[in-house]
Amino acid sequence: MAERAAPVDAPVVSMDAITKTFPGVKALDQVKLDLYPGQVTALVGENGAGKSTTVKILTGIYAPDGGTIRIGGAPVTLNTPNDASRVGITAIHQETVLFDELSVAENIFIGHAPRTRWGLIDRAEMHRAAKVLLDEIGAPFATHALLRDLGIASKHLVAIARALSVDARVVIMDEPTAALSHKEIEELYELIETLKSQGKAILFISHKFDEIFRIADRYTVFRDGAFVGEGLIADIDEDALVRMMVGRAVDHIFPDREQAVGEDILQVAGYDHPTEFADIGFTLKRGEILGFYGLVGAGRSEFMQALFGITRPSKGVTLINGDIKVIRSPADAVAAGIVYVPEDRGKQGAVIGLPIFQNITLPSLKRTSKSGFLQLAEEFKLAREYAERLDLRAAALDQDVGNLSGGNQQKVVIAKWLATQPQVIILDEPTKGIDIGSKAAVHEFMAELASQGLSVIMVSSEIPEVIGMSDRVIVMRDGRIVAEVAGDELTPETLVRHAAGITAAQLQEA
Amino acid sequence: MLSRTFPIRETILAGAIVVLLALIASRFAGFIAPSNLARVFNDTAPLIILALGQMVVILTRCIDLSVAANLALTGMAVAMINVAMPGLPIPIIIAIAIMLGAVMGAINGVLVWKLSIPPIVVTLGTMTIFRGIIFLISDGKWVNSHEMSPAFTGFPRAEILGLPVLSWVAIVTTLIFAVMMSRTPLGRSIFAVGGNPHAAVYTGIDVGRTQFQAFVISGALAGLTGYLWVARYAVAYVDIAGGFELEVVAACVIGGISIAGGVGSVGGAVLGAIFLGVVKNALPVVNISPFWQLAISGSAILIAVAFNASAGRKKGRIILKSAEVTS
């Protein structure tokens, strides 16, 4: 394609030295991103690299803490989504953010519908204009159709029609193919070509390398919230791109662990779910840390929740110490010695309103009660034991847990689980969204648990953490286990290849 | 250390009741005579019992609007049983009333638990259904005092240690609930389910089943109150305790039970009911029209909710070391 070669135009959007900090986390650090008219720029990076934050800044949802955004050379501030749409930036999200109960035409024109003389919405004109837009992009449905009756691909078309209706100059596509079939993806590619020919600048975010190399003209790589590099797709191969994504300086020391794993503790076989995962089976040994790596949406958390009895798999067998355990509910799992520390600890962790000691004893109420009545002395004893073990800083154990700092609340949640004396602990994204210092503390602690003979399953999307902590790593993709990696094979490149579905053969070609 | 907010809230409410009593006493001293206070308490007893049941339901993030209809249906049923079998001993009547009420509560609970229908919809529906059933079984006729046996109507009025049985039932229910909420796994689960349902799931607590249990408790108490109500007033008809469910919810709200679930106490529910009881009994005495009574009850609800909202507002994080020591 000839027009790919020479980027003579000036960028239509230019982000420079953009910084965004959330409490305790630097999400973006001095990043730059340029988007050119008539070209597709792929934004590439691991989970947590700062791609979503960038999209939210461009669409006016977050305000950056520092840096400048230029549109056509002039600096702008995008404080609200309205500001973004006024300068011609529009986004098509992974899960479409449109209105299910409204018609296609209403969705396209919501907020800027044509008006009659009396200030009312001119429905006839709206449907006529919508029809023109839909024809332009080859959409096969009526303007009167309700959005909820459309498939995801059609919803994307509506979003694109909406982008055209506001005369967008910049179209952001955040993993647009995630839920599309092969044919629908091809149609999307054609549409992207149409948009390109109209001179729109497109920001394309995807984890799938085949898509990036198929559709993008340029790439920009972020890693850990920092800009790594940019260039023309024509000048790079997959291997080099993977290296840019994952390669990093050692900025974090992981605890040294004696790899002395014992006998099999947990055996899982044949876990199937009609829509989320299939054929999951593995073994976990005493004192082992088993990493679960994959892209977001690979089915890792979904499987773990099934293992824990929250969602029931249609089939699947769990053995603990060689005995079959029937796990139909979380209570069964806790009784069998499995506990699950979920990802969103704010939402799923501490019970605000209950005092610290009652939070800690919540899963152990059977143990702290005698003939149906709770024994307060027992509860305090149990709570104190684990609070001390975790160095919990609280004035008193009957203090409301809501008054504790985030880090201490997290300790309460972990103390709660340890108090059940589990054999297997599942940690779902244990360090997501916490600062470097706290991360190190969590890693220390995880290593200590393993050294005490507890078996740990760690679901993590952070490659350094997976490699630094795990004895063995299972990689999942599209709901299936695609690889088990250990020892020398445990490198960032291997993990990314398996997770993104790049075969060795493809890499040889590249 | 003022972390235990429950006693503060209750102390303020108790203070409000004392101030209210003082105001009334300034115009009509006889109101605070012990015998009259005992009469007011006895009159409030059904509200206290129902408020305790409602409290458990609200704590689990649900609501039970069918309590008054449940009460009326159970009351009618036991009254008709009494007419048909005047010899049936009162303990059996009470057992039947509690069981009938519990079954109706279980119906609410199952619909919420297994079909995931919002509790307000479920209980709005069953409320209407229960009232309809009363009409069907009674043909819209009243059961009057001369048809009931003396034992049936006498039980709630019998005095033990100077207080009627009705009052004692409220006191004993309160004590049982105090123990249940603070000292049993069920009580703890109820708080956990309302406080953070997601966390409760991961802790091995079945959220739906806990809500079901709450509805059964609320229903059983409504059944018990149904017998006491019909026996005390010696009459049963379709519209008994019409609209009383709103008074029950109001007592809970005034008592500081968060409508969002997870926050509340037995003491709060009881004091909330007593506050409404005092307002209802005192206003006619001091010559204030019953319409003002509605306005005063309504204002009390709004003030209580506003107060709870401001108390629950985020105080901000404790970051300063100095603040940590003094908090």
Amino acid at A73: G
Q: Residue B193: closest CA among chain A residues belongs to which residue?
A: A351
Segment B60-86, tens digit of pLDDT: 999 999 999 999 999 999 999 999 999
Q: Which of A15-24, A209-218, A246-255, A320-329 has the lowest mean pLDDT?
A: A246-255
Q: Which helix (H) or strand (E) holds A267?
A: strand A264-272
Tokens read off for A436: 């470097």
Cα(A392)–Cα(A388) distance, rounded to whole angstroms? 6
Coil vs helix vs strand at B83? helix
A399/B188 CB distance under 8 A: no
Instruction: Return the pLDDT at B199.
Output: 84
Instruction: Return the pLDDT at A438.
Output: 66
The fold for domain B41-311 equals ABC transporter involved in vitamin B12 uptake, BtuC (1.10.3470)
**B164: which strand partners?**
B159
Strands, E assignment, A88-142 = 89-92
Give B263 or A392, the one with higher predicted confidence: B263
Cα(A30)–Cα(A400) distance, rounded to whole angstroms? 40
Average pLDDT over residues A259-286: 86
- State how far Cα A20 lies from the chain centre: 18
Q: Residue B197: closest CA among chain A residues belongs to which residue?
A: A348
The burial class, CB within 10 Å (0-12 / 13-18 / 19+), for B254 is: buried
B204/A331 CB distance under 8 A: yes
Report the residue from A310, A330, A358 with minimal CB separation from B188: A358
Tokens read off for B152: 């049936």
Segment A151-177, tens digit of pLDDT: 877 888 888 888 888 778 899 988 887
Q: Residue B319: closest CA among chain A residues belongs to which residue?
A: A405
At residue B228, does pLDDT exceed 80?
Answer: yes
Q: Is A333 on the interface with B (CB under 8 A)?
A: yes
Tokens read off for B244: 């009383």
CA of A349 to nearest chain B CA: how many angstroms apart? 5
Instruction: Return the pLDDT at A506.
Output: 53
- State how far Cα A340 lies from the chain centre: 19
Average pLDDT over residues A54-83: 88
At residue A505, does pLDDT exceed 70?
Answer: no
**DSSP line for A66-79:** EEEEEETTEEE---
Instruction: Return the pLDDT at A415.
Output: 86
Q: Is A236 on the interface with B (CB under 8 A)?
A: no
**DSSP line for A19-47:** EEEETTEEEEEEEEEEE-TT-EEEEE--T
Please count the other Cβ atoms lying within 10 Å of the Cβ belonging to residue A439.
18
Q: Is A395 on the interface with B (CB under 8 A)?
A: yes
Segment A398-446, tens digit of pLDDT: 888 877 766 677 788 888 888 888 999 998 888 776 655 667 777 888 8
Give A478 or B118, the one with higher predicted confidence: B118
Instruction: Return the pLDDT at B78.
Output: 96
Segment B137-187, tens digit of pLDDT: 999 899 998 899 999 999 999 999 989 999 999 999 999 999 999 889 999
Task: Place A8 in a pLDDT band, splitting at 50, 70 and 90.
Answer: low
Q: Residue A336: closest CA among chain B residues belongs to which residue?
A: B204
Q: Which domains does chain A have, with CATH numbers?
A: 13-88+169-248 (3.40.50.300), 100-167 (no CATH), 254-337+423-510 (3.40.50.300), 348-421 (no CATH)
Please count the other Cβ atoms lying within 10 Å of the Cβ belonging to residue A438.
15
B4/A400 CB distance under 8 A: yes
Segment B110-133, tens digit of pLDDT: 999 999 999 999 999 999 999 999
Instruction: Name every chain B residue with its beta carbon within 8 A of the beta carbon of A371.
Output: none
Instruction: Return the pLDDT at B97.
Output: 97
B5/A400 CB distance under 8 A: yes
Cα(A272)–Cα(A303) distance, rounded to whole angstroms? 9
A362/B183 CB distance under 8 A: no
Mean pLDDT (chain A, rounded): 83
Cα(B108)–Cα(B234) distance, rounded to whole angstroms? 28
CA of A348 to nearest chain B CA: how many angstroms apart? 4
Instruction: Return the pLDDT at B319.
Output: 43
Task: Place B327 in a pLDDT band, splitting at 50, 70 and 90.
Answer: very low
Q: Which of residues 413-452 of A touch B (CB under 8 A)?
A: 416
Report the residue from A349, A353, A399 with minimal CB separation from B191: A353
A351/B200 CB distance under 8 A: yes
